[in-house]
Amino acid sequence: MRHERSPGLRLRPLPELGACLAYTPAAPRLHQLNATAWLILELADGRDDAALAEAFAARTAKALSATAARRTLEDGLAGLRACGLLRVAGLDREERDPA
């Protein structure tokens, strides 16, 4: 599986606050991301999930064990998908959001 940013997503990094604002124009809403969610969003650029997990583990190795990194990434991806900030690459809207 691959994850990518939702179309039209607008980001406003606030590095001085360790946060990023994300705006979803399709379903107008402003989200404030903490540093972890922001990192996951940046790394979810369409690469396969194994490469995503490897990149996330490498970036968080000083703070998280391999198990904690995997769990944090899984939870983060699920949360970002639920908020409409990420989607599974290659799926059309009906497959992502069945009625």
**Dihedral pair phi/psi, residue 29, rounded to 5°:** -165, 145
Banded model confidence at residue 90, pLDDT cuts 50, 70, 90: confident
Domain extent listing, the chain: 3-88
For 65, other C-beta atoms within 10 Å of its C-beta total 11
91 compared with 98, residue with greater pLDDT: 91
19 CB-contact burial (10 Å; exposed 0-12 / middle 13-18 / buried 19+): middle
Banded model confidence at residue 15, pLDDT cuts 50, 70, 90: very high
Q: In the block, which residue shows the tokens 């996951």?
A: 40
Give the Cα separation of 46 and 90 in Å (integer).
9
pLDDT digits (tens, 9 = 90+) for 31-77: 999 999 999 999 999 999 999 999 999 999 999 999 999 999 999 99
> Is 99 in a helix, a strand, or coil?
coil
Using a pLDDT cut of 70, give the percent of the chain over it.
Answer: 91
For 29, the token pair is: 């809403």
Is 92's pLDDT higher than 90? no
